[in-house]
Structures are given as structure tokens and as C-alpha cells.
Amino acid sequence: MLVQRRITPVVLAAAILAATSGLLQGQDRTVSPLPRAAGVDFRVLSWNVSAAAFFEKAAGFRAMLKLSDADLFLLDEMDDGRSVDDVTGVLRGLRGEADTQWHGVIGAGGGYQRGAIVSRYPVTAIPELTGVVPYAEDEIARLKALVPEATWARTKANLDAGVPVAGAVVQIAARSILAVTVDLQCCNGTPDWQEVRRQIEARRIRAVVQAVLAKVRVDAVILAGDFNLVSSGTPLVILGGPYPAPHLALVAADVLQLDGLEAWTWDGRDTPFPSRPLDFSLYGPNSLQVAAAVAVSTEDLTPAVRAAWGVGPGTSRELSSHLPIVVDYRWRRR
């Protein structure tokens, strides 16, 4: 029975579903569709925002971000040429007129797959992760031998834009987090050069994060984004570490949708490909505990909740083929 089960993120996701669907009080909850578990210290949302769609469909994204009520946003596949002010302009006023000031950085690398980190807390850019992280010459040569000649020019231009990653230190009261967002190479290739590229990107990102952690003291690490695990789970394993002590290794938050059943974060409906988990939120378990972790689809919200928050059943799907992941964290007590 439920009361006999160990409290896990999965159980907490079911509790959030109950609150959302009105099962706790027998009526629709319209105040907060994503209530925070007791003792939560901060909430993180990570999301592939589908490049220009974040600005072209700003009203829909605002509604989803307001609904999530996160403290820290890790946004990947951000449109090229956008500034921090452009991004914070979409977020401004989510908690009303007296909303706190937003702080953020955008990575220079990745072209249309750039990453952005925006926070209610102070943010310090890390040059190694906000500048262009280049591919090594031997990595480019390896890919050139695999990429079809007809597409090499376009692929090379994309490689020249650098690895899609961004990172910054977020200061939450007396503690700090190295927050990193990634958007690994998409899709399959024949031969599967795109999986080779994903693994190259994962190793480059891990190496940079290792170097940063060797000289910058932080209390925790959170690394999230679109991992595009369509061929193997190797990139996820690579990004898990190892990292310098005390961080050592990162693990993926156990994420379910609000229905408590489905785990996919990429919507493959109406495509030849199955829906599957492609997006992950990794954290350091030595310093953080996950109180709850959910992938938010507006299809799982009740009509009353959707009406109260200004979204429709298909809003999340219309904005991006990826679902936002919301994770509530507690600091491990010292």
C-alpha cells in the first residue's frame, strides 16, 4: 500500500498529481498546480525552449514559467543573437509587479542551441562555460571522416559555433551552485556520426566542468538539458563524472510526468519516432536531495487549473516538443 512505500521522488510526483487534480480536498486546486514539498530550499526548471519559439510564443512560455514558479531556470536551445535582457524580458513580472530582479547569463557557443541560466538569485558568469567551448581539431577530423560529404559544410559551420553549453555560479544565501545547461547533438546518422558527436560533446563539457570545479569552490552542481539519447546512454554516463571532491559524481533526478506513469520528456506523437526521455536533470547527491521531480504537461492539468493559469491542454506541446522538468531540492544538512 502507498503508506508502506518509501518516500521517493516518484511517490512525491504522485502527491503533486493528487494536489493538481483535486484529490486531496475533493476539488480542483487553482492556487498552485505544483505545490512545493515541505522543507524545499529551491526549485529548478530546465527546458529545451525550441530556439526562436521562446520569443515568438512568449505569452505561452510566460504562462508555463509562471505556473512552475521556479527560482532557477536552465534553458537550452536558446535562439542565437539574443541577450540576457531579451530572456529576462519574457520572465519579468512572473510573481507580479514586485517581482524580484532577474540575474542571468547566456553562453556564447552553440549557435541556435545556446544555453541560458536565469535566476532570482545572484549569478556569476564562468568564462570557461559562457565563452565558446571549441571542438578540438582531432575531434573535427574524426567527424569529417564520418559525416556525409553533402552535409559537411553545414555541419562544419555548426561545429565552428562551439559546444552547446553554458554555466554560471548561482549564490543562494550562504551556499553556491555551479549550474550548467547543455543541448547535445540531435538525432541519428548513417553511419551514426551524431552519436559520436554527442559523446565528444559530453566529454568536452565534463572536462571543462572538471577544470572549473578544480579551482572554483561551490556547494553543489546541477547539470541539466537535452541529452538527445537516441542511440545510447553513454553521454549521460559521461556527464555523470567523475568530478573533483566533494562532488564526485552526478545522478539523474527520477522524473515522471504529473500523471505519475509516463517518463518521456520528448513528444514523438505524430512522428515516426517513439516518445522517450531525452531531457535530464543531474545533481550532486552529496550535497542535494530531490524532494520532487516532474515533467510538466498541460494535458495532465485539470480544466479548472488550466483556466486559472491561462493554458490549454495542448499548450506545452505547442511551445516545444520537449517538456519542462521541474525539480525541488533540499540541501543536505551539514
Q: 217-241, pLDDT tens digit by residue?
A: 999 999 999 999 999 999 999 999 9
- List, in order of start, the domains of the chain with CATH numbers: 2-331 (3.60.10.10)
Q: pLDDT band for 7, please (50, 70, 90 cuts).
A: very low
| 4-18, 84-98, 230-244: least confident range | 4-18
Q: Is 96 exposed, middle or buried (0-12, 13-18, 19+ CB in 10 A)?
A: exposed
C-alpha grid cell, residue 279: 531531457
**Tens digits of per-residue pLDDT, 31-68?**
567 999 889 999 999 999 999 999 999 999 999 999 99
| Confidence check: pLDDT of 22 > 80 | no
Q: What is the mean pLDDT of the chain?
A: 90
d(CA 17, CA 304): 14
Distances in Å between the Cα of 298 and the Cα atoms of 303, 304, 306, 325 are 10, 12, 7, 13
Contact 105, 128 (CB under 8 A): no
Please name the helix (run of DSSP H) or strand (run of DSSP E) that holds residue 78, with its range, or none: strand 72-78
For 156-176, the pLDDT digits (tens) are: 999 999 999 999 999 999 999
Give ∠ CA 131-136-142 in degrees, rounded to 5.
140
DSSP 8-state code for residue 266:
B
* Mean pLDDT, rounded, for 312-324: 97
The residue ranges of DSSP E strands in 98-250, in sequence order, are 103-106, 114-119, 123-125, 165-172, 175-183, 220-226
